[in-house]
Amino acid sequence: MWLKPKMQKIVCIKFYEFDITLKFKKGVKNLRLRVSKDTKISLTLPFYTTQKLAINFLEQHKEWLKSTHEKIAKNLPKDDEILYLGKLYKLEFKENITGVNIYEAKILAPNQKSLEKFQKIKAKELFSDIMAKFLPLINKNVNRLSIRKMQTRWGSCNCKKGYINLNLNLLEKPVNLIEYVILHELTHLIYPHHQKSFYDFIQRVMPDFREREKMLNSMPPNLTA
């Protein structure tokens, strides 16, 4: 019996003050440097790329890496804080309360599990309401809406099946930015590409979408729609 060759290898290195995970993967053609929401850094490379080339790439992007890492670390909520619809709240857990309560400056929850359940329910309600607003303009059916945490994208669309996938972390963003991501994914049901016709349609529906897109991309984590 033939064994399948390894599809990837992982190497952890120290680059100045940063701990970086190098991910050598088969099928990857370009180098991709990423700073995740929790400030972890990874560099994905073609499988047979040398570690020396990886270091050279990091040197070339050192200033971007430092500024991006600093920006994300600065905006990262503390353990007792939470972002909800673009606003930072103080987070408190109290075992003797029922459900999650939102006040002017704080959110109270009985435990982490209840908070996560609340987030999923609110995300489904809000995302569904926004979709309902845009769907008459799209004139296509959404056969499934999936909401989950994603590492690299704000959302995705399977235009053939009519499936829309949205990142649960969108709940942290202001509503106008959530609207842009949802419209972006719904538009793929009509235009399964990023050509001019795709953006022309979004422009007609949301004239300020470029400003919203720029604002979204300026906020950590730097994901794509």
Domains of the chain listed by start with CATH number: 8-75 (no CATH), 81-112 (no CATH), 116-218 (3.30.2010.10)
How much helix, strand and coil, in percent to the nearest 5, is found in the chain? 40, 25, 35
Alpha-carbon span 24 to 6, nearest angstrom: 10
Alpha-carbon span 86 to 154, nearest angstrom: 15
| Span 23-35, pLDDT tens digits | 998 888 889 998 8
The answer, yes or no, to whether residue 60 has pLDDT greater than 60, is yes
Task: Give the pLDDT of residue 95.
Answer: 87
Q: For 214-225, what is the mean pLDDT?
A: 68
Alpha-carbon span 139 to 124, nearest angstrom: 21
Which strands sit side by side in the sheet containing 106-109, from one edge to the other?
Answer: 81-84, 87-93, 106-109, 101-102
| Span 43-56, pLDDT tens digits | 999 988 899 999 99
The three-point CA angle 203-209-212 to 5° equals 180
